[in-house]
Amino acid sequence: MKVLVIGTGAREHAIVRSLTLDPSVDAVIAAPGNPGIDAIALCRELPQGLLDGEGIAALAAELKVDLVVVGPEAPLVAGAADAVRERGIACFGPTAKAARLEGSKAFAKEIMAEAGVPTALAHVCTTVDEVASALEVFGAPYVVKDDGLAAGKGVVVTSNRAHALAHAVQCLERRDSTIVVEEFLDGPEISLFCITDGTTVVPLAPAQDFKRLSDNDEGPNTGGMGAYSPLDWAPASLVQDVVDRVAQPTVDEMRHQGMPFAGVLYIGLALTSRGLRVIEFNARFGDPETQVVLARLATPLGGLLYAAAVGKLDVEAPLRWRPDHAVTVVVASKGYPNSPRTGEIIEGMSQVGDEAYVLHAGTALDKHGSLVSAGGRVLSVVATGADLTQARDRAYRAVDRIGLKGSTYRTDIALAAQRGEITVPQ
Ligand code: AMP
Ligand code: GLY
């Protein structure tokens, strides 16, 4: 099988890595990819960019691939999967219509309401006055979200009412936007990826992401600064509960409404004192959670994604997992997320050794052929171990060997879990 992977990040690097380890996959091409992906697969350009669904479909046809895997949300929301399927090529990723589960928070709330999925109570607002009264209704801490895609940066959670209102004003001014104000959810957050062909749901292992920039969950929200899996502290019934109460009803509702969702339904949820509540849906794999989930998946990835793309998940054998724990630490540029500084030389990559591996995100080769930073999140360092302590030690030893001027990373990825400090409120 020949597979084309769309995207540029560490998530795509992780997907490409797993595909190259699948015996049924004999060629992997990435577009546009990055220098790390280029070392293990072929990279092709996308001259018109990631939003050019026709360009993606044309490349897939030219390369005669059997499967296209779309990594990021933007091409999905722009209809890349529709364009690929129109050419008769199998595509892992939902149609533009179905990707609205991620593309519009208000739409996701409607589907959840119709499917009876537990989520935070929310008010959808289009004026500052509506936002102000919604803030009154829910009280502090306030949760204010931009309706559309914002790369994880459209959400403000704060106890400062003025700050909450200012975020809403800013979103409303920036474009003709809708604001979602919702109740605050207490309790630990998890990410669960459910592979689906539109009917059958196959959950992967849950992971935990670290969204804030700095240790102790301080600083601004980011795309994600690290992750680990599995979650030993979570209730044993968690995955089945999420499939039964969230994933299957949502997939069924989408199909009944004539917009079947095939691809990966990423469920972000909080385990609150009142039970599980969905925080968000995404229509693609999460970054950096994918890096740790795929580090543990023993079932070949290509066959699984192909089965989802062609509606054959019901005949897939149960997934197999390695018993290891996996941790990933993201190394980010100085100034991330607001104004990341790029073009800095990345050193020490060859000193990492074989205890860990480094997935590329925002990297590039400069005109001398040196590896330099080219984005906010630059690298995702992944390690596995017999327990979280070993996986963390290996990951952080590797991080320490990498030199990137001004870079930052969190030092507490998976630390609370390692110490047994995570509890689910009763
Ligand atoms: P989202 O883009 O909806 O995933 O939100 C980004 C982050 O904001 C989430 O991962 C949570 O950490 C936080 N967040 C979002 N909604 C809520 C909520 N209702 N209560 C508490 N935290 C939230
Ligand atoms: N890790 C969060 C995301 O991919 O949206």
Q: What angle do CA 357, 329, 292 make, to 5 degrees?
A: 65
Residue 289 CB–ligand 2 contact under 6 Å: yes
What ligand has the least distance to the C-alpha of 120? 1
- Band (pLDDT 50/70/90 cuts) for residue 150 is low
Rounded to an integer, the average pLDDT of 330-357 is: 96
Task: Please report which ligand is nearest the Cα atom of 283.
Answer: 2
Residue 213 Cα distances to 237, 327, 394, angstroms: 31, 17, 21
pLDDT, tens digit (0-9, with 9 covering 90-100), for 265-301:
999 999 999 999 999 999 999 999 999 999 999 999 9
pLDDT at 153: 61
- Is the pLDDT at 309 greater than 80, yes or no? yes
Averaged confidence pLDDT in the chain: 95
pLDDT tens per residue, range 395-424? 999 999 999 999 999 999 999 999 999 998
Q: How confident is the model at residue 243 (pLDDT cuts 50, 70, 90)?
A: very high
Nearest Cα to Cα of residue 81 among 65, 97, 62: 97
Query: Alpha helices of 288-387 — where are they, by DSSP H?
Result: 289-296, 301-309
Q: Is 279's C-beta closer than 6 angstroms to any atom of ligand 1?
A: yes
State if residue 135 touches ligand 1 by the CB under 6 angstroms criterion.
no
% of residues, the chain, pLDDT over 70:
98
The per-residue pLDDT for range 377-390, each reduced to its tens digit, is 999 999 999 999 99
The DSSP letter of residue 309 is H
Residue 221 Cβ contacting ligand 1 at under 6 Å: yes
Q: Yes or no: say if 169 and 202 are a contact pair by the CB < 8 Å rule.
A: no
- Provide the pLDDT for residue 152: 56
pLDDT of residue 155: 85
For ligand 1, is residue 155 a contact (CB within 6 Å)? yes
Pocket test for ligand 2, best of 225, 269, 287, 410 (most atoms within 8 A of CB): 287
pTM of the model: 0.95
In this prediction, residue 177 has a pLDDT band, given cuts at 50, 70 and 90, of confident
